[in-house]
A and B are shown apart, each in its own frame.
Chain A
Amino acid sequence: EAGVAQSPRYKIIEKRQSVAFWCNPISGHATLYWYQQILGQGPKLLIQFQNNGVVDDSQLPKDRFSAERLKGVDSTLKIQPAKLEDSAVYLCASSLGRLAGGTDTQYFGPGTRLTVL
């Protein structure tokens, strides 16, 4: 089974520039998550989609971050303008989106490591 795909794997930008990340979830997975993982910390949810609708974006800095999931499959996360504190690994995860034995396991992609200079 193919896993969650993300690109690019690495990105270096100057502060105030914009950047976009792409995620392709596991085929058939209705739920898609974007997490931010700062070095030495656990992942923190930015946004959760169920198909192409937003379920939770309470921790997304909406003044600079945006995300979309057109057609309920692939998703893009954008930062504009970037700040130094946005340096982190951005992880995409997906899950079936329905209760399979009472749980809905999240599978993670390899992440995009962003460095803001």
Chain B
Amino acid sequence: GENVEQHPSTLSVQEGDSAVIKCTYSDSASNYFPWYKQELGKRPQLIIDIRSNVGEKKDQRIAVTLNKTAKHFSLHITETQPEDSAVYFCAASIRIRGKLIFGQGTTLQVKP
């Protein structure tokens, strides 16, 4: 069935370092890949997304890359700050406007 695997489950970095979170999806029909940030006790918030016709997208300190052949996509955060500490979820959509299949989440801790 539809599945998204996310790694690592926890990630600890020093302030200013880069962080990378990787996801793999199972269904080759997936064509939309958003990333959500969820702070403790709060709602998931979209931070960046990418469509299957694009290989990379950047927004200031965050970027997402997509490898359709390998069915991999990754989130890259540069110059991490303590306020980046949160749980990050990747997701894949089997069709645009369809349901999101979420990964298990990565808890990112940025140490000052």
Interchain CB contact under 8 A, B104 and A45: no
CA distance A12 to B17 in the complex (A): 41
Residue interface bits A33-56, CB-to-B below 8 A is 1, else 0 = 100000011111100100000001
Chain A residues with CB under 8 Å of B42's CB are 110
The interface on chain A, measured as residues whose beta carbon lies within 8 A of the other chain's beta carbons, has a size of 27
Chain A residues with CB under 8 Å of B21's CB are none
Chain A residues with CB under 8 Å of B44's CB are 43, 91, 108
Contact of B102 among A43, A48, A97, A99 (CB under 8 A): A43
- Within A32-88, the residues touching B (CB, 8 Å) are 33, 40-45, 48, 56
- Within B53-112, the residues touching A (CB, 8 Å) are 89, 91, 96-105
Q: Which partner residue on chain B sits nearest A106 by CB separation?
A: B100
Given contacts A103-B32, A108-B44, A110-B42, is CB(A40)–CB(B99) below 8 Å? no
Interchain CB contact under 8 A, A41 and B46: no
Interchain CB contact under 8 A, A91 and B43: yes
Chain A residues with CB under 8 Å of B34's CB are 103, 105-106
Interchain CB contact under 8 A, A109 and B99: no
- Interface size for chain B: under 10, 10 to 19, 20 to 34, or 35 or more residues? 20 to 34
CA distance A33 to B100 in the complex (A): 10
Given contacts A42-B105, A45-B100, A106-B100, is CB(A111)–CB(B46) below 8 Å? no
CA distance A68 to B43 in the complex (A): 22
Q: Which partner residue on chain B sits nearest A48 by CB separation?
A: B99
CA distance A21 to B99 in the complex (A): 20
Chain B residues with CB under 8 Å of A43's CB are 44, 89, 100, 102
Interchain CB contact under 8 A, B104 and A41: yes
Interchain CB contact under 8 A, B49 and A103: yes
Chain A residues with CB under 8 Å of B6's CB are 42
10 residue pairs from A and B, CB less than 8 Å apart? A33-B99, A41-B104, A42-B89, A42-B102, A56-B99, A99-B96, A103-B96, A108-B43, A108-B45, A110-B43
Residues of B within 8 A of A (CB): 4, 6, 32, 34, 36, 42-46, 49, 51, 89, 91, 96-105
